[in-house]
Amino acid sequence: MPEPSQLLQLLRQHSPAQAVLSSRAGDRGLADEARFPFLALVGQVEMKLALILTLINPAAGGVLLVGPRGTGKTTAVRGLADLLPQIQRSTCPNGCEPQAAEVEGMNGVCPACAARLIRGETITAPDRMRLVELPLNARLDDVVGGIDERVALEQRKVRLERGLLAMADQNLLYVDEVNLLANDIVDAILDAAAQGLYTVRRGPLAATYRARIVLVGTMNPEEGQLRPQIQDRFGLRVLVRGLTDSRDRLEVYRRVSAYQANPYALRANWAGETLAAAAEIAEARARLPQVKLTSPVERAGLAWVKRLGIDSHRAEVVLFEAARAHAAADGRAQANLTDLRAVAGMALRQRRSRFMDDYLAAQKDEEREIASVMRGKAQRSRR
């Protein structure tokens, strides 16, 4: 077998933290953020792989990390901020994009953007993808948007303000403790995730915002179950357990100690690997449109879904898109069975429903009874 790409090797890398422990941290006098480096997480290869694949191919459907406290779920997600790729973002206050003009003509964009496009100018600019975090105590107006209270008080005008879902357009939306969200907020996220946009109405005012979000969530099942509707919106599902090897757990302790002693030194210690991984992710995203599935891969994936008795068609969508992302990460333009096996667990677990199985089985009994009654009526009519 050929060696995996540098990106896939980095996910498995170990590095000592002794040099960081021996250095001293200066007093910066600021409450600025020094995130724990994503690649400095020990083990947890499947968790890191799932998060990297969703950066390469958002069509894989986002990631749900399920596991007990203290296993690095939140640390991993927040560490992704250093690896986020660049995207093309609209420079128009109205969010106009060139694709709208291509599909709908100049009526699909505002007059100012139409004039710029006619002059041959661009209406987008490169910008880095962002990590937008949804606080657990967020109100519905915080999430979808509402009346701008500052403008209302200061200027006596009523104006709608964007919510977190609109701010998360083309970004990662991270929901910690996703199973504890209020139902109205879950409904808003589901609506936005399904359509890629949503509409806010406050009295006579209405505004429609784009919300093409990549959803990443973490949860501890001890604290409550996740509603099936929102669980179905997560493409890849990872069960995160504590490490079992004593050497790995000791390395976790050393890196955490190094981070607490001097977070900036630890980040500097991993800066080279982080830059290399970010560059590889960008290259994989550029390669992704050329990555194809072979017929044996398609047949195998569909057979696995059928044998598992999974009803949701999202299963094969996620399975195949994740396999394409894995091939792109490995520098190839064709996804093979190795790619499919690498992502199958993440893509197919937790997709069966015992309730639906029992419900459909009961329905089959009723269908047979109806058919039996109809046959009996037909026999009497012939007599």
Inter-residue contact 40 to 266 (CB < 8 Å): yes
Burial of 243 (0-12, 13-18, 19+ CB in 10 A): middle
Element (H, E) at 319: helix 314-329
Selecting among 162, 212, 314, 352, the annotated active-site residue is: 314
Residues pairing with 293 in the sheet: 335
Active site (annotated) includes residue 159: no
φ/ψ region of 350 (left if φ > 0, alpha if ψ in -120 to 50, else beta) reads left
Return the beta strands (E) in the chain as ranges.
63-66, 86-90, 124-128, 131-134, 145-147, 160-162, 172-175, 197-202, 205-210, 214-219, 236-239, 292-293, 334-335
Distance between CA 310 and CA 348 in Å, rounded? 8
Candidates 62, 66, 60, 59; CA nearest to 44 is 66
- Catalytically annotated residues: 314
